[in-house]
């Protein structure tokens, strides 16, 4: 019950001990003078970025209606604001010009710039309408620089075959040099290759090229004979034979995936050249330089078809004249 003579305050209430608790007064707002811009309200994720006095937004294009900024009073006309240039990210040239460098340093910088421009001009490909001008120019540069890739040419091969019995899907895949010699005219097709890189090597073979017959996956692997290519790549028939261990259900006869060549026995090497002996020469050539330093027999061991350069073939063949170590 209010005391006599007390003025009732709207929103007042009594506490637990009977004290009168007055409502908190709202913060006083500063009056805005006529013509003074409105203060921005507190921003949240839905508001635009309000312009900073030092980094204002660019002025709207001439003739375009000015769009009021959210957070300002709706009655304010933003088109009356002075146009301010968009701040540049580049340094002020005037400030840089104040820092003068010594004449010697400026001359040196000019010389370096001219040298760089000449290098860039010489590095650019010659102008031309051909789309392949860059590739042709690059090939010319590589040939002029004497790149190793341009010098490597493969004209001989190494063919791996397993001389000992091994069942694959119930079929014995054994094929030794003696099995080749037992074939009609000592000629057979080299089928069953299911590696894309090895297949590409098969497709690169030419008639008359010679290859080493290599016994692999046995107690003592190595080179036993020399064969030659008598028929270039054609579709491998085993990829379509469901009973063959090398059958490929994804290959189609109109576009076969795998290829094979025909090889013919030439002669046995004068002696068996074991892998261990070839590897010893490979390590020596790798350290001191030699034709066997990049031999794929050691860099791509799992490939059953491997290319050889003329130097590699001649060096390995010369080992048959030496006594075994």
Does the pLDDT of residue 2 top 60, yes or no?
no
According to the model, what pLDDT value does residue 152 have?
Answer: 75
- Distance CA(208)–CA(200), nearest Å, equals 18
- Distance CA(76)–CA(202), nearest Å, equals 82
- Distance CA(56)–CA(48), nearest Å, equals 13
Q: What is the pLDDT of residues 17-63, one digit of tens each?
A: 666 666 666 666 666 677 766 665 555 545 555 555 565 555 555 55
- Distance CA(298)–CA(307), nearest Å, equals 12
Q: Look-up: residue for tokens 């980094």?
A: 55
Stronger pLDDT, 50 or 274, i.e. the higher one: 274
Q: What is the DSSP letter of 255?
A: B
Check if the beta carbon of residue 251 is closer than 8 Å to that of residue 258: yes
The two three-digit tokens of residue 265, written as one number? 């026995």
Spatial CB neighbours of 67, under 8 Å, sequence gap ≥ 6:
60, 78
Q: What is the pLDDT of residues 106-135, one digit of tens each?
A: 444 544 554 555 444 444 444 444 344 444
Pick the CATH number of 155-320 from 3.40.605.10, 3.10.590.10, 2.40.40.20, 1.10.10.10: 3.10.590.10
For the chain, give the percent of residues with pLDDT over 90: 51
Spatial CB neighbours of 232, under 8 Å, sequence gap ≥ 6:
205, 206, 207, 261
Within 13 Å and on the Cβ side, how many CA atoms surround 183?
15
Q: What is the pLDDT of residues 192-238, one digit of tens each?
A: 999 999 999 999 999 999 999 999 999 999 999 999 999 999 999 99
Q: What is the pTM of this model?
A: 0.56
Q: What is the DSSP letter of 312?
A: H
Instruction: State mean pLDDT over 288-306.
Output: 95
Q: Look-up: residue for tokens 């006095």?
A: 53
Find the range with the poorest average confidence among 7-16, 251-260, 282-291: 7-16
Instruction: State mean pLDDT over 75-96.
Output: 55
According to the model, what pLDDT value does residue 70 have?
Answer: 52
Say how many Å lie between the first and final Cα of the chain, rounded.
122
Stronger pLDDT, 111 or 190, i.e. the higher one: 190
Stronger pLDDT, 263 or 43, i.e. the higher one: 263
**In terms of Cα–Cα distance, which of 270, 258, 241, 76 is closest to 169?**
241
According to the model, what pLDDT value does residue 124 have?
Answer: 45
According to the model, what pLDDT value does residue 141 have?
Answer: 43
Angle, alpha carbons 42-47-49 (nearest 5°): 90
Q: What is the pLDDT of residues 127-169, one digit of tens each?
A: 444 344 444 434 444 444 444 444 578 999 999 999 999 999 8
């Amino acid at each position: 019950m209010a005391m006599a003579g007390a003025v009732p305050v709207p929103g007042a209430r009594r506490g637990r001990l009977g004290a009168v608790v007055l409502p908190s007064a709202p913060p006083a707002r500063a009056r805005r003078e006529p013509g003074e811009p409105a203060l921005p309200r507190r921003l949240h994720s839905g508001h635009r970025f309000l312009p900073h006095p030092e980094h204002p937004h660019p002025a709207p294009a001439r003739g375009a209606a000015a769009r009021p900024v959210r957070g300002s009073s709706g009655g304010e006309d933003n088109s009356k604001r002075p146009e301010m240039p968009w701040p540049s990210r580049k340094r002020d040239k005037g400030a840089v010009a104040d820092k003068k460098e010594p004449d010697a340093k400026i001359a040196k910088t000019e010389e370096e710039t001219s040298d760089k421009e000449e290098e860039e001009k010489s590095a650019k490909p010659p102008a031309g309408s051909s789309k392949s001008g860059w590739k042709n120019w690059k090939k010319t540069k590589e040939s002029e620089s004497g790149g190793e890739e341009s010098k490597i040419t493969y004209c001989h091969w190494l063919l791996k075959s397993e001389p000992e019995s091994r069942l694959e899907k119930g079929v014995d895949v054994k094929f030794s040099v003696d099995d080749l010699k037992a074939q009609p005219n000592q000629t057979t097709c080299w089928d069953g290759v299911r590696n894309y890189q090895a297949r590409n090597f098969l497709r690169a073979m030419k008639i008359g090229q010679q290859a080493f017959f290599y016994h692999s996956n046995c107690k003592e692997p190595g080179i036993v004979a020399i064969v030659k290519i008598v028929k270039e790549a054609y579709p491998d028939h085993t990829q379509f034979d469901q009973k063959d261990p090398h059958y490929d259900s994804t290959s189609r006869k109109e576009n076969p995936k795998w290829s094979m060549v025909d090889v013919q026995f030439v002669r046995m090497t004068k002696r068996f050249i074991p892998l261990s002996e070839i590897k010893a020469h490979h390590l020596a050539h790798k350290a001191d330089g030699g034709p066997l330093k990049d031999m794929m027999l050691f860099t791509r061991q799992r490939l059953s078809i491997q290319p050889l350069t003329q130097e590699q073939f001649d060096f390995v063949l010369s080992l048959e004249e030496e006594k075994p170590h």
